[in-house]
Structure 1
Amino acid sequence: MMDNAYPQVDLLAFGAHPDDVEIGAGGIVALHTTKGFSVAICDLTDGELSSNGDVNTRRKEADHAGEILGLSQRYRLGFPDRGLDGSDQQIHAMVALIRKLQPRVVLAPHWEDRHPDHIACSQMVREAVFDAAIRKKATQNGEAPHRVQHLYFYFINHTGKADMIVDVSSVYSRKKDAILAFESQFVPGDGRVNTPLNNPTYLSMVDGRDRNWGYQIGVTHGEGLVSIQPISMKSLIE
């Protein structure tokens, strides 16, 4: 997938590393592409410090996962793995992308997670979404301000109380396939070291978490989201 085109999208999901979005919100992405919405993923880093795989492998795996999910585009900002420092340069690049794509909805990792990069990504997306709407906040190429309608946070390595649970039962097989597209990360093999991700209990945890959320809304699988703003409803009865 090309990185140099900037079509407008309905939903933009940020992850610190390739595979973050697939783990936490792959079902939501697949659900919306199935419904005809345009969805993009932005990986802040290439995950170059991962114990297994390399940059080229991860990029190929990410593109394959994107094809499975039906992405309109996948973007890579090339920030250093374990170097998400929230600098003006990094935030400006994220602001520019948001303004170019003009998403209605943005997804980011939840701010509580065992990986410091996920925590940093969460805060950086929050800042970039805020800055993207400031008219006097300039970017290098002068992109026009854009106000995101909704910012939601998804879970990666942890679970928690969800403000919203999305029924992803109909597309859950695509989520699983998209995660497994990152074979270097989730499948043990010769020459690969053991990590929390390729421990069989990890994918079982993800599936169990999504089943638990699904159970709470009476379906087989769900994905939980958190909002820092009140969720608006026009009526309690449709």
Structure 2
Amino acid sequence: MKGTTMDILAFGAHPDDVEIGAGGILAKHSALGRTTGICDLTFGELSTNGDIKTREAEGARAGEILGLTARHRMGFPDRGLTGSQEQVDAMVKLIRQWKPKVVLAPYWQDRHPDHIACSQMVKEAVFDAAIRKKAAEVGMEPHRVTQVYYYFINDISQADLIVDISEVYAKKREAILAFESQFIPGPDRADTPLNQPTYIAMVEGRDQLWGHQIGTSHGEGLVSATPLRMDQLV
């Protein structure tokens, strides 16, 4: 993607992270004509089921369902998100290329260390992308992201903002299940927490809870690390 400003860029540590936590938000904004993208930091190659080729195909299918403008794979090592300057600079380069208005990242508290690492790395990359004297590549102009929001993967907490995704919830569910190797059990797949019926039920229950809080059937909760601005209340 060149020469276009990305409206929303969502980072995930693994393919399927964004679909779980913010798939509805991306589907909704894509349907509204906004440009949306996902950046997977790893190929998820250490997952119990599936392999790199399979997960890449699943991610492409999920992207089609969500109507993504673009999907990028950094190829950092699974369980190797060190937050090194080299890794952060690669993320800075992408942010400066795609120029997102809004960036989404995993919530900074999660049972998976890679999700926590991704959250911190996005924070650093967004910050560095705006520094004029800190260029990840010669000739690239700095870019300042308007807002960063954090989405939930395995857990739930108090949301600062809930987006109504009721009308696109079927697409979110379809996008998650596009990752068949992760969420659908089979004779050639080992049992994991992800492919048990309780996991998808947890995600849907959480989205229903957030939807109930705003008077709709389904919602996705986001957290902001900074105060949200409102010019006036009425």
Q: CA deviation at 1:156?
A: 0.1
Aligned equivalents of 2:169 and 2:231: distance in 1?
A: 29
- Is it true that 1:144 corresponds to 2:132 in the alignment? no
Aligned equivalents of 2:46 and 2:65: distance in 1?
A: 25
What amino acid is aligned across from residue 218 of structure 2 in structure 1? H
User: Out of 213, 221, 224, which is 1:224 matched to?
Assistant: 221
Aligned equivalents of 1:32 and 1:209: distance in 2?
A: 21
CA RMSD of aligned residues (A): 0.7
Q: CA deviation at 1:117?
A: 0.2
Percent of aligned positions that are identical: 65
| Alignment match, 1:89 | 86
User: Out of 188, 200, 205, which is 1:203 matched to?
Assistant: 200
| Alignment match, 1:100 | 97
Aligned equivalents of 2:173 and 2:32: distance in 1?
A: 19
User: Out of 142, 147, 160, which is 1:163 matched to?
Assistant: 160
Q: Deviations over 1:116-155 (max 9, x none)?
A: 0000000000000000000100113431100000000000
Q: Deviations over 1:72-120 (max 9, x none)?
A: 0000010000000000000000000000000000000001100000000
The within-5 A match list for 1:42-53 is: 42-53=39-50
What amino acid is aligned across from residue 220 of structure 1 in structure 2? S
Q: Deviations over 1:179-205 (max 9, x none)?
A: 000000000001100111001100000
Moved over 4 A (4+): none
Matched residue SS, 2:75: coil
Q: Which runs of 5+ in 2 are unaligned?
A: none
Aligned equivalents of 1:72 and 1:46: distance in 2?
A: 19
- Is it true that 1:130 corresponds to 2:131 in the alignment? no
Q: State how many pairs are aligned.
A: 233
- Is it true that 1:178 corresponds to 2:190 in the alignment? no
Aligned equivalents of 2:161 and 2:170: distance in 1?
A: 21
- Is it true that 1:78 corresponds to 2:75 in the alignment? yes
Q: CA deviation at 1:158?
A: 0.3
Q: Deviations over 1:39-73 (max 9, x none)?
A: 00000000000000000000000000000000000
Matched residue SS, 1:78: strand
What amino acid is aligned across from residue 33 of structure 1 in structure 2? S
